[in-house]
Amino acid sequence: MHNILSGLTSLVSNVTVSNTYNISARFCEPEVRNSSRSNTIQLLVHGITYTKNYWSGLGAPGEGFDGDAYSWIAYASKQGYPTLSIDRLGNGESDRPNGLTVVQMGSHIEVTQGLVNALRRGLIGRRAFNKIIYVGHWYGSLIGNLHAVKYPLAVDTYVLTGFTKKIRPSLIPTLITGAFLPATLAYPEKWGNQEISYFASSSDEGGDKLFFVDETTDPDLRAINFALRGTVTVGEFISAYSSTQVAPAYRGRVFVLTGQNDAIFCSPGELGEGTLIGEGDCGTGQSNLAAQTQQLYPAAAVYNYNTPDNTGHCNILHTNAQEQFAIAHDWLGHFY
């Protein structure tokens, strides 16, 4: 595996990508009408190995694990927010182009800006949205960070989950823990025809250690999570390490919601050691990595964070999901 990645990494260079891609998305009107929020939309962008169903309990809205217990979309709907959840390029039902030169950070940023422009212009949801809340998880949060760097006026508020200023510095421990292999080898029944630049986890135990705190997650949910696992491209792995960056011109609002025991963004050691066989730790007080993430947004009008205890990287798939939904939306309620 290391040799495969090393060989592919050596091929990386600057390539201009210009094309049109199909992005699968799900637009949901809220079940509770709130006139003050009707033109405010949440754009939901999932992390690595997931799809838009991450935001509704790993299934379509109303069909997720334990109904709506793990559904951000359902909670937002009851608060009067329309949502647009997407399958990122290279994921789910969206197009799956070359996983080295195309499906990487630069392309994701431009797709995001294209969606923001479409929402502003009334091309989605039959109206123009004048306020956009970007909600990301993991790689989706990394995209949000760099989107704010390049397009500081585009989004009103970023809610970044499974994220801090410090992504796990070493790629190899993450790959080893999750036993990531070319998807054709890791999950041939599902990805047998996928090109070699797409990888998938081959270990349910390894994935659990990266994503969850066992004591606060349902074992049945963890099993479903592994069965439904998606892919990550070599380009995404490599370009993730251009993150995170300071967004000096962004003057909107930022809220970071990251599990205290996130094993990917709260690695205890400088090289990411300590999480191959255990949980992460975001720290406390001024040493808390989510608190320090404010350094990425020096001009933000508002910056706040929350690191729920006994919660891992896939924070909203833990049993305290409803509490986290309330924390995020109570914070949003101060402004919308």
* Tens of pLDDT, residues 235-253: 998 888 777 999 999 999 9
Q: Report how far residue 270's alpha carbon sits from residue 284's, in angstroms, rounded to the nearest whole number.
A: 17
What pLDDT, on a 0 to 100 scale, did the predictor assign at position 10? 43
Q: State residue 3's pLDDT score.
A: 40
Q: What pLDDT, on a 0 to 100 scale, did the predictor assign at position 14?
A: 57
Mean per-residue pLDDT for 88-105? 97
pLDDT score of 175: 65
Q: Is the separation of the CB atoms in 281 and 260 below 8 Å?
A: yes
Enclosing domain of residue 122: 2-8+21-332
Dump pLDDT digits (tens) for 154-189: 999 999 999 999 887 655 566 665 688 999 999 999
The answer to whether the CB of 276 falls within 8 A of the CB of 269 is: no
> Residue 250 is part of a domain; what is its CATH number?
3.40.50.1820
Whether residue 15 lies inside any domain: the answer is no
233: in domain:
yes
Domain count within the chain: 1
Q: Is 210 helix (H, G, I), strand (E, B) or coil?
A: helix
- For the chain, what is the mean pLDDT? 91
pLDDT of 173 reads 60
Is residue 41 within 8 Å of 82, Cβ to Cβ? yes
Q: Could you tell me if residue 13 is inside a domain?
A: no
Is residue 16 in a domain?
no
With tokens 């962004």, the residue in question is: 250
Q: Tell me, yes or no, whether 323 lies in a domain.
A: yes
In the chain, which residue ranges form alpha helices assigned H by DSSP?
2-9, 72-78, 105-120, 139-150, 171-178, 183-186, 188-191, 204-211, 219-227, 234-239, 289-292, 321-332
Residue showing tokens 């251009």: 242
Contact, 258 vs 273, CB < 8 A? no
d(CA 176, CA 331): 37
The pLDDT of residue 210 is 86
318 part of a folded domain: yes
With respect to residue 14, please indicate whether it lies within any of the assigned structural domains: no
- Give pLDDT, residue 327: 99
Q: Name all contacts of 118-125 with Cβ < 8 Å and 24+ positions apart.
A: 119/41, 119/43, 119/84, 124/25, 124/27, 124/84, 125/27, 125/29, 125/41, 125/82, 125/84
pLDDT digits (tens, 9 = 90+) for 98-156: 999 999 999 999 999 999 999 999 999 999 999 999 999 999 999 999 999 999 999 99
Q: How many residues does the chain have?
A: 336
Kindly provide the b/e burial profile for residues 209-230, where b requires at least 16 CB atoms within 10 angstroms of the residue's own CB: bbbbbeebbbeebbebbbeebb
Is residue 182 in a domain? Answer: yes
- Distance, in Å, from the CA atom of 230 to the CA atom of 304, rounded to the nearest integer, reads 31
